[in-house]
Structure 1
Amino acid sequence: MILYPAIDLKNGQCVRLLRGEMDRATVFGDDPAAQAGAFQAAGCEWLHLVDLNGAFAGQPVNAAAVEAILAAIDVPAQLGGGIRDMATIEMWLGKGLARVILGTVAVENPDLVREAARAFPGQVAVGIDARKGRVATKGWAEETDVMVTDLAKSFEDAGVAAVIYTDIDRDGAMGGPNVEATAALGRAVSIPVIASGGVASLADLIALRDTGAIAGAISGRALYDGALDLAEALTALEG
């Protein structure tokens, strides 16, 4: 299982939100590129980036910070937030991102996901953010009647690289991930599933890994708060 350290960007800063609420942001740093370099130095294989402003605006907002991160690292990075058309997908992949994450458009324009996955094999992931099993869109501000598993299954034949599943009620709350729901999703689809939201300790990572159904886990606040030591976690997951 791959551990993805998260860098969530708001107004050019590294932040973490509590349960996806933009007005409940904790700033952890003013230099996202330096943070990315520190994660790489600790041994991470991937980075997970989110343009929080972009998720609400529907277009890239923290592009300068993302570009600075890409210039500072050698490991692959994936980005979500505000990527809602083919031109933006092409732009980001052209700038060196390894993978784009399509969230809102996966619900509103699934054909775009399919088109992008065909055009860029292995470089398109679907981000599924949910409250109580129902998908939320537009930076988690709008809730739908779409069920998580139904949405994921609809992309089984599309060639997407991964599904990133976020339990919004757990995100940034340090209360532990929704292991059961994430593992159930992992078993329901053939697409690799990456867990996001609530990872607060090494025990949480081990619990996710030991399901045998989860390909990766994203952690943000626990790494910034010091509740999770990145190097130690990477070593444990290798073991």
Structure 2
Amino acid sequence: MILLPAIDLKDGRCVRLLRGDMASATVFGEDPAAQARSFAAAGCRWLHLVDLDGAFAGRPANAAAVEAILEAVDVPCQLGGGIRDMATIEHWLDRGIARVILGTAAVEDPDLVRAAARRFPGQIAVGLDARAGRVATRGWAEATEIDATDLARAFEDAGIAALIYTDIDRDGAMQGPNIAATAALARAVTVPVIASGGVSSMADLIALRDAGGISGAISGRALYDGALDLSAALRALEG
């Protein structure tokens, strides 16, 4: 299982939200590229980038910060937030993003996800952001009645590279991930599943790893707060 440090971008800065609430943003850094270099220096193999403003606006809003990160590090980066058409997908892959995450588009335009996965094999992921198992879209602001596992199964034959499952109620709360729901999703599909939301300690990472079938975990606030030491966590997971 790999650990992906998260860099969430709002107004060009590194922030963390509490349960997706933009009004509760805590600023952790003014220089996203410097933060990316710090994570890369610790030995991470991937970075997870989110354009929070873009997720609400429906179009990229922190492009300068993302491009600065891409110029600063050689670590592969996956990016989500406001990516809802083929032109934007192609733009970011051309700029050096290794994997594009489609969340709202997976609900509102599933044909786009399938077409993108065919056109860019191994470079398209689906973001499943859920409250109580039901998918939320548009920066988590709009609730749906779509079951996260049902949506995941709908793309199982599409050729996507990964599913990123976020339990919104756990995100940024430092209360641990929803291990049971994430592991159940991983058992239900053959696509690699990455856990997100609430990963806040070494114990959380070990529990996710030992649950079986989960290929990765994303952590943000715990790394910024110092509750989780990135270098130590990477060594433990590799061991």
TM-score interval (norm. to shorter): over 0.9
Q: Which residue of 2 aligns with 1:193?
A: 193
Deviation at 1:101, TM superposition (A): 0.1
Q: Which residue of 2 aligns with 1:233?
A: 233
Q: Which residue of 2 aligns with 1:160?
A: 160
Q: Which residue of 2 aligns with 1:10?
A: 10
1:22 is aligned to 2:27: no
SS in 2 for 1:101: strand
Amino acid of the residue matched to residue 148 of structure 1?
Answer: A
SS in 2 for 1:35: helix
Amino acid of the residue matched to residue 125 of structure 2?
Answer: A
Deviation at 1:213, TM superposition (A): 1.2
Deviation at 1:212, TM superposition (A): 1.4
Q: Which residue of 2 aligns with 1:107?
A: 107
Separation of aligned partners in 2, 1:153 and 1:56: 26
Deviation at 1:225, TM superposition (A): 0.1
Separation of aligned partners in 2, 1:22 and 1:47: 22
Deviation at 1:14, TM superposition (A): 0.1
Separation of aligned partners in 2, 1:207 and 1:113: 31
Q: What TM-score comes out, normalization by structure 2 length?
A: 1.00
Q: Deviation above 4 Å: which 4+ runs of structure 1?
A: none
Q: Which residue of 1 aligns with 2:62?
A: 62
SS in 1 for 2:183: helix
Separation of aligned partners in 1, 2:153 and 2:178: 19
Deviation at 1:211, TM superposition (A): 1.1
Deviation at 1:235, TM superposition (A): 0.2
Unaligned runs of 5+ in 2: none
Q: 1:37-78: CA deviations, max 9, x gaps? A: 000000000000000000000000000000000000001000
Q: Which residue of 1 aligns with 2:178?
A: 178
Separation of aligned partners in 2, 1:221 and 1:168: 14
SS in 1 for 2:182: helix
Q: Which residue of 1 aligns with 2:86?
A: 86
Separation of aligned partners in 2, 1:155 and 1:41: 35
SS in 2 for 1:191: coil
Separation of aligned partners in 2, 1:132 and 1:193: 18
Amino acid of the residue matched to residue 70 of structure 2?
Answer: L
Q: Number of matched residues?
A: 239
Amino acid of the residue matched to residue 208 of structure 2?
Answer: L
Q: Which residue of 2 aligns with 1:46?
A: 46
Alignment of 1:68-147 (within 5 A): 68-147=68-147
Q: What TM-score comes out, normalization by structure 1 length?
A: 1.00
Amino acid of the residue matched to residue 146 of structure 1?
Answer: I
Q: 1:128-155: CA deviations, max 9, x gaps? A: 0000000000000000010000000000
Separation of aligned partners in 1, 2:62 and 2:109: 23
SS in 2 for 1:215: strand
Q: 1:180-239: CA deviations, max 9, x gaps? A: 000000000000000000001000000000011100000000000000000000000011
Amino acid of the residue matched to residue 49 of structure 1?
Answer: L
Separation of aligned partners in 1, 2:12 and 2:207: 33
